[in-house]
Structure 1
Amino acid sequence: MSLITIQCRLVASADTRQFLWMLMSQKNTPLINEIFMRIAEHPDFSVWKEKGKLPKNFLAQQIAELKEDKRFQGQPSRFYASVHKMIDYVYESWFTIQDKNKFRLQGHTRWLEMLKPDTEILQCFDGSWEKLQNQAKKILDEIDSTLSHTRIVDKLFKEYEATNDPRIQGAIVYLIKNGASIPDNKVETEKKYKKLKRKVEIQVHKLKKQIEISAPTGRDLNQQKWLDTLILASLASTTMPLNQAQCDRWFSALKKNSPSIPYPVIYETNEDLKWSLSDQNRLHVRFNGLSDHTFKIYCDSRQLPYFQRFYEDQELKKANKNQFSSALFTLRSAMIIWKEDDGKGELWDKHKLYLHCTLDTDYWTVEGTQVVAQRKQKEVLNIIDGMKEKDDLRDTQKKFIQRKETTLARLNNIFPRPGKPIYQGNPNLFLGVAMGLQESVTLALVNVGEGKAILYRNIKQLLGDNYHLLRRRRNEKQKLNHQNHKARKRASFQQKGESNLGEYVDRLIAKSILKIAQEYKVSTIIIPLLSQMRSITEAEVQARAEERIPEYKEGQKKYAKDYRVQVHQWSYGRLIDNIKANSAKVGIVVREGKQPKQGTFTDKALQLALSIQQNITEGKIPRNTKF
C-alpha cells in the first residue's frame, strides 16, 4: 500500500464558511480540549502513561457523555467520530514518543555509566596500549564484519552486559568510543574525553526534560492561557514563581505561538464525500452531516486528475448499482482543515479552508487495482470461513455473512482504469539516502548482495544547474530568521513564513533521486529515521559551544544560537514526504532506517542501505512490505 495526500481549496459562500467555522471552533475543538483535560486530570493517567495506551472504551464513553452537554450539542455524527479519531491519533503519537524517549534515556544513561577515560581503562592492562588494542581486536574478530555499524555497536553493548571481566569491559568501552574500530592515534586527550562525556550528559538531560513534558492540552483558540500567564508575569512583584520550573513554564507559555485555528475534521469513510459537476464543469463536493452546504474544488493542474478520479469512481458505482464496491475507490479518507492566512475581516474570511484527501496509488491502474482486489478477497474469504466454522449462528451473524459474500462478488468487478506495467526493480539494488547538517542529502546506490556501493551522489550532483538555488534558499532562511527575531523583540507574534523556494528545491531533489532509482532499477529506497536527529544535532551544537567558550553560560548560548544560523537548515520531513510521494507513483518501496551517527555521509548512506537488508535477512522486516 502506497498512500499519498493531496489538497485543494474549498470555496463556499460566506454563510457556509461562517457556519463551518463556528461549528468547528465553538463546538468541535472545545470538545477535544475538554476530553484532553479529563484525560490529564484522571487519577489513573499515570497508569495509562506507563502502559502507553488509553483504556479501550474510555474515549467512546467520554464522547457519549459530553454529547449531552449543551456546550457540545448540535454536531453531525461524523464530527463526534472525528473527535474520537483525532484524540486517539494524538495520544497514540504522544505515547509512542514517550516510549522512544524512555528507551533512548535508558541507553544513554547506561552509556554514561560505562564511559571512562582511556587512562582508567589502561590500568586494567598494566598501562600497555598493545594489550588493550589486542583485546579490542580479539573482540572485533568474534563479530560478523558484514554487519552494519549500528548492529556491531549493539552487539558490543550486549557483550558488555554479559561479562564481568573488567579487561573485556574496558576494551568494549574503548571500541564504542572510537566508532567500533581501533584508532591509529592512541592518545585520548582529557579535553576530548570531557567533550564526549559532556555531550552524553546533555543528551540525557534533554531526554529527561522531554519525558517530563505535560500531556496534550488542546488548542487555546481564544489565547486565554497566554493572557492568564501574562497577567501572572506582570504581577511578579506580588506573585513570584515558586521555582525555576514554574518560571520556565511561564516563559514557555508566553513564547509559544498557539494555533489560532480549530482542529481538523476527519472523514474515515470515502462515501461520506459526495462529488458533483456544475454546469461550468467545475467539481463540487458535499459532506455527510453538512449536506445543505456545497463547496467548490480549487486545485492546481497536477492534482486535478485525482479529484476527477474520485468523481468518476462515485458516478460509475452509482450508474451500475450493486456492481462495484467502494472498497476499490481511489479515495481512502479525507480531512477538512482550516489554514492560517493573513486575510482581513472575520475569522472565516481571514483563514482559508482546505480539503486534504488520502489516496492509494495502487488503485490508480488496472493492474494495481487487481492486486488490491485479490488481497481484499482473501481477507473477506478468511472472515467468511471463520464465521461458518461456528455452530448455531444467530440471524445477525447470518446476515453479516451474506453482506460479506455480496462484497466478495463486487470485488470481482474492477473499475475501468488505465493500464500500466507494475514496476519491477532489482531486489539486490537499494538506494540509501543520508541527511544531515553539513550535507543536506547524500546518495549511495548499493548492491546489498555483495555489500558494495555502485555509485555515490552528493547534493551538488543531484541539483546540477539548480545548485545555486540551495545558496539562495539558505540566505533566505537566515534573513527570515533575522526578521522573525526582530518581530519577537517587538512582541509581534505575527511572524513571516518562508516562501515556496524550499518546497521547490525539495521537489527537485526528490525528482533527481527518483530518476537515479528508475535508471538503475532500484527496488528499495531507504530514508533515515529522523526522530533522533534533533537531539543529536542539539547535543553536538551545545558540546561545541562549551568547548569554544568554557565556563561561560551566556557566551555558550550566544555561540550555539549563531552556529545554528550558520549551519544549513533543512526541512527533512518535507523532503522525505516528497521522496515518498514520488516513489509511490512509480511503485518503488520506501523504508526507514536508523542513520549512523559517525563516519562520512557516504558511509552513512551505505550503512543505511545495508542495515535494512540485514533486517530483511533476519526476518524483522517482510521483504515486500511498503511504507
Structure 2
Amino acid sequence: MSVITIQCRLVADDETLRHLWEFMAEKNTPLVNEILERLGKHSEFEIWVKTAKVPKTVIKELCDSLKTQEPFIGQPGRFYTPAITLVTYIYKSWLALNRRRQLKIEGKERWLEMLKTDVELEQESKSSLENIRTKSTEILASFATHQTHETNHKVRGRRSRKPKDGKADRPDKVVTIKPSRLFEAYRQTEDALTRCALVYLLKNNCQVSFVEEDLEQYTKQRRKKEKEIEIERLKIQLTSRVPKGRDLTGEKWLETLEQAVQQVTHDEKEAKSWQANLLRKSSSIPFPVVYETTEDIKWKSTIRKDFLFVLTGWESLSLKYIVTKDTFIYFIAF
C-alpha cells in the first residue's frame, strides 16, 4: 500500500471551522466511542477474540443503528463511513496484540505440562537417566550438524572475501541450538525417550548436565519458568483490556473517580479496572475522519495557480484545502 502525504493549509471562516470541530468532537468521536464500547459487550465478542477478527458487517450494523439516535444524528454521510473504518482498524490492531498474548499463555502453560524432574523423566521414558543423557547428546549433535549445513549453504551464496594481511579465516563459531527448535521437535515426535530427552535439554539450557539434579533449584526453576503471576496477568488482559475511546471532556475519568471515592470495590479485578481508568491518559483530540479513496477528492485550480481540493460531503460548508509550502495539516491518501 502506497502512502502519499500532501502538506495543506485549511481555508475556511471561523464559523465553518467551529462547525467542523463540533461535528468531530461532539458527534463523530462519541459515535466511535459508542461503537467500541458496544463491540466489547457483544454476545459474540469471545468468538472474535479467538478468531482474531471482527466482521465489518457487525460494525456497520452498529453504526447504522446509532446514526439515527442523538447525539450521533445529523452528521455528513461521509463521516459515518470513516467511523466504521476507524473502528475496524482499532479492533484489528487490538485483536492482533491479543492473539500474541494468547500464544504466550499457551506457550507457558505447555511448558508447565512438559517440565518434569529427572526422576519423572525416567519414569515417563521407562529408561535410565544415563540413556536420556545419551539421547540428548545425539539430538544436540543432529541439530548442530543440520544448523552447520544451513549456515554453509548461506555462505556459499555470498561472494567470498580474501583474508586481510594474509590472516587465515576465523574458525567456525560454536553452534548454539535455539530452544524454539527443541520445542518444535517435541511437538513433532511421539517417541517417549526422545520427548523426555528434549525436555531434559530445555530445562538445562540446551546442554547435557552430568550433575545430580537439585530439587530445590528445580522448584525455583519451575516457578520461574511457569511465571504464574504473568500468566494470570495476561489472562486478565485478554478479558478486560478492550479498546477504549477518547474521553475529550474528562467525564469518564470523573465518573471513575467518583466511584472510587464513594464506593467499595467488589473484588480485586474491579479495583484494578478503576486504577487503570484513572491512570490512563486519554487523547484530547477528536478521532480523525479518514477519506480512503480518490473519489472523495475533487481537484481544482485557482487564478493564482494554487491547487485546491474539496472533500466530498463538505461542499456546502465551503471547506477547501490550498496546497502550499506551509505546514498546517497533513492529508494522507491511501
Query: What TM-score do the two structures reach when normalised by structure 1?
Result: 0.42
- Which whole-Å CA distance do the structure 1 matches of 2:27 and 2:282 have between them? 19
Secondary structure at the counterpart of residue 267 of structure 1: coil
Alignment of 1:175-324 (within 5 A): 175-178=201-204, 181-182=206-207, 190-191=216-217, 194-195=220-221, 197-201=223-227, 202-235=229-262, 239-276=263-300, 282-291=306-315, 292-297=318-323
The separation in 1 between residues aligned to 2:325 and 2:253, in whole angstroms, is 36
Indicate how the Cα distance of structure 1 residues 210 and 9 shifts in structure 2: closer, same or farther if over 3 A, else same.
farther
What's the secondary structure of 1:57's corresponding residue?
helix
Q: Please list every run of 5 or more consecutive structure 1 residues that lacks an aligned counterpart in the other structure.
A: 305-352, 360-627
Identity among equivalent pairs (%): 30
Q: Does 1:78 align with 2:104?
A: no
Give 1:114's aligned residue.
Answer: 114
Note if 1:357 corresponds to 2:332: yes
**Secondary structure of residue in 1 paired with 2:287:** coil
SS of the residue aligned with 2:240? coil
Q: What code does the residue aligned with 1:153 have?
A: L
Q: Is the 8 A contact 1:98 1:211 kept in 2?
A: yes
Q: What corresponds to 1:385 in structure 2? A: none
Partner of 1:100: 100
Q: Provide the alpha-carbon RMSD of the alignment.
A: 3.4
Structure 1 stretches of at least 4 aligned residues deviating more than 6 Å after TM superposition: none
Inter-CA distance 240–173: structure 2 relative to 1 (3 Å threshold): same
Going from structure 1 to structure 2, the CA distance change for 1:136 and 1:74 (only over 3 Å counts) comes to same
* 1:367-446 equivalences in 2 (<5 Å): none
How far the C-alpha of 1:90 sits from its partner, in A, is 1.9
Aligned residues: 298
Given that 1:7 and 1:299 are in contact with CA atoms closer than 8 Å, whether structure 2 keeps it comes out as no
Aligned partner of residue 42 in structure 1, secondary structure: coil
Secondary structure, counterpart of 1:266 in structure 2: coil
Superposition pairs for residues 545-556 of structure 1, below 5 Å? none
Residues 196 and 153 (structure 1 numbering): CA distance in 2 closer, same or farther, change over 3 Å?
A: same
| CA distance in 2: counterparts of 1:63 and 1:174, whole angstroms | 55
Does the C-alpha gap of structure 1 residues 276 and 224 become closer, same or farther in structure 2, counting only changes over 3 Å?
same
- Which has the higher Rg, Structure 1 or Structure 2? 2
Task: Give the 3 Å change call, closer, same or farther, for CA 118–74 of structure 1 in structure 2.
Answer: same
The answer to whether the 8 A contact 1:277-1:283 is kept is: yes
Higher RCO, 1 vs 2 (CA within 8 Å, ≥6 residues apart): 2
C-alpha contact 2:53 2:92 (8 A) present in aligned 1:
yes
- In 1, the alpha carbon distance for the partners of 2:254 and 2:107 equals 40
Could you say which structure has the higher strand fraction? 1
* AA at the equivalent of 1:182: Q
Q: What are structure 2's unaligned runs of at least 5 residues?
A: 151-176
Counterpart CA distance in 2 for 1:198 and 1:169 is 22
Aligned partner letter, 1:296: I
CA distance, structure 2, for counterparts of residue 247 and residue 100 of structure 1:
26
Q: List per-residue Cα deviations over 1:539-595 (Å, max 9, x = no partner).
A: xxxxxxxxxxxxxxxxxxxxxxxxxxxxxxxxxxxxxxxxxxxxxxxxxxxxxxxxx
Q: Which amino acid aligns with 2:248?
A: L
The one-letter code sitting in structure 1 at the alignment partner of 2:261 is S
What residue in structure 1 maps to residue 58 of structure 2? 58
- Does the C-alpha gap of structure 1 residues 122 and 83 become closer, same or farther in structure 2, counting only changes over 3 Å? same
CA contact (8 A) 2:294 2:333 kept: no
- Cα distance in 2 for partners of 1:233, 1:58 equals 34
Q: Give the Cα–Cα distance (whole angstroms) in 1 for the partners of residues 240 and 261 of structure 2.
A: 25
Give the drift of 1:118.
5.1
